[in-house]
Each structure stands twice: as structure tokens, then as C-alpha cells.
């Protein structure tokens, strides 16, 4: 489960675990407000699906590796890793700064979900690179219709599945749990 830290030198963040790394997501004022409205207080954990909803809406952004000092004391549970609810880079497995990338190869055009390093390597053959957090179901369909995205690609299918997940139910559950306290 992510941990809410409203007062850090970098501003308010949500700390979460992604495989073996602790990642800090910056929170917008709207994201902080949404957490507070749900009853989340400083230093309190909240569902990873709620963080995934904040990321998808742009209210949690700019993930970066958190300071290594004291990471083991957070006790993040593998079952509640936020990374389980986010699209991953198909080459490196990272969940930070993932883009839908369309690039040309000798065999044709390919669409993949890629993190920063693979995007850098493929930049000369890249035809399209869009952060997944600014996409939607409608945008993916439009990109396929105008043939900017290969139809029925695995990357598009992964994104469609992500957009269809109900992260908003996590907010109702969180408010209900915090109302009992």
C-alpha cells in the first residue's frame, strides 16, 4: 500500500513499491485534496488502486526513485504494489514514464509500451511517442482509425485493459474505512 507523505523537501508525495524499488510520485494540490477528502492523513497508507487512479488522472506524476535510507521500515506488501496496477515497459519492466511508442522496423511498424531507456535507443525510428497518462480509450481508437497505431497491437490491448479497470471504487472503499476510525 502506498504511503502519503505531504511534507517532504520535494513537496507532497506518495511512496510506493515497484518490484524492488521504492518510488516517490509527486502529488498535485488536487491529488492531496482528494486523499484528504478520503480521510488519508500524513504518514497513512492507502490502497494502491487509489494511487493508480491519481496517476491515470495526472494528479500523481513525475515518479522518481525514493531515497534509499530507511526504505525497509516502510514494510510494503508485494500484494499491494502500485506497479501491479500500472502499464509496464515491455523491455525493462519499469512503470515510470511509460509511453506508447510506434516505431518502424524492417518488418513493418510496431507498437510497444516503453520506458525512457528503450525510447532513447529507438528515437531515430520512432514515429509516435505518447505518455500513457495522457491517453484514453477514445484516443487509442482514434490513433488506430487514422493508422498512427497498428490495429490490434498488444500495447493497445494492454492500455485498453488498464483504462477499463475500476480504480474509482478504491476511493469509496477508502472513505468508508476511514469513516469508521
Q: What is the DSSP string of 118-175?
A: HHHHTGGGEEEEEEGGG--HHHHHHHHHTTSS-TT-HHHHHHHHHHHS--HHHHHHHH
For position 75, what pLDDT does the model report?
A: 54
Q: What is the pLDDT of residue 69?
A: 42
Measured CA to CA, the distance from residue 72 to residue 179 in angstroms comes to 30
pLDDT of residue 70: 46
Inter-axis angle of helices 48-57 and 29-37, nearest 10: 150
Which cell goes with 24?
Answer: 516517490
Closest to 100 in 3D by CA, of 131, 124, 123: 131
Q: Inter-axis angle of helices 154-164 and 137-145, to 10 degrees?
A: 150
The pLDDT value recorded for residue 145 is: 93
User: Any idea what the Cα angle at residue 76 is, between residues 17 and 78, rounded to 5°?
Assistant: 75
For residue 13, the number of C-alpha atoms closer than 13 Å in the C-beta half-sphere is: 17
pLDDT in tens, 162-179: 888 877 777 778 878 877
- pLDDT at position 114, please? 96
Coil, helix or strand for 103? strand
Q: 3-state DSSP: the chain helix, strand, coil percent, rounded to 5?
A: 40, 25, 35
pLDDT at 74: 54
Alpha-carbon dihedral of residues 110, 115, 119, 122, nearest 10 degrees?
-50
Low-confidence ranges of the chain (pLDDT < 70): 67-83, 105-107, 180-181
pLDDT for position 72 = 45
What pLDDT score does 20 carry?
72
Amino acid at each position: 500500500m502506498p504511503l502519503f507523505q505531504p511534507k517532504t523537501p520535494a513537496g507532497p508525495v506518495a511512496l510506493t513499491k515497484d518490484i524492488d524499488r521504492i518510488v516517490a510520485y509527486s502529488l498535485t494540490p488536487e491529488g492531496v485534496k482528494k486523499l484528504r477528502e478520503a480521510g488519508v492523513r500524513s504518514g497513512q497508507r492507502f490502497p494502491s488502486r487509489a494511487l493508480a487512479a491519481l496517476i491515470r488522472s495526472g494528479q500523481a506524476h513525475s515518479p522518481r526513485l525514493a531515497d534509499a535510507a530507511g526504505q525497509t521500515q516502510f514494510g510494503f506488501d508485494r500484494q499491494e504494489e502500485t506497479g501491479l496496477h500500472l502499464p509496464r515497459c515491455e523491455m525493462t519492466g519499469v512503470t515510470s514514464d511509460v509511453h506508447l511508442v510506434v516505431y518502424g522496423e524492417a518488418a513493418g511498424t510496431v507498437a510497444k509500451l516503453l520506458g525512457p531507456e528503450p525510447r532513447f535507443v529507438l528515437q531515430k525510428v520512432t514515429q509516435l511517442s505518447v505518455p500513457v497518462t495522457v491517453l484514453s480509450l477514445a484516443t487509442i481508437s482514434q490513433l488506430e482509425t487514422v493508422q498512427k497505431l497498428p490495429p490490434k497491437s498488444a500495447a493497445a490491448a494492454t492500455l485498453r485493459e488498464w483504462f477499463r479497470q475500476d480504480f474509482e471504487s478504491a476511493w469509496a472503499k477508502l472513505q468508508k474505512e476511514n469513516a469508521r476510525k
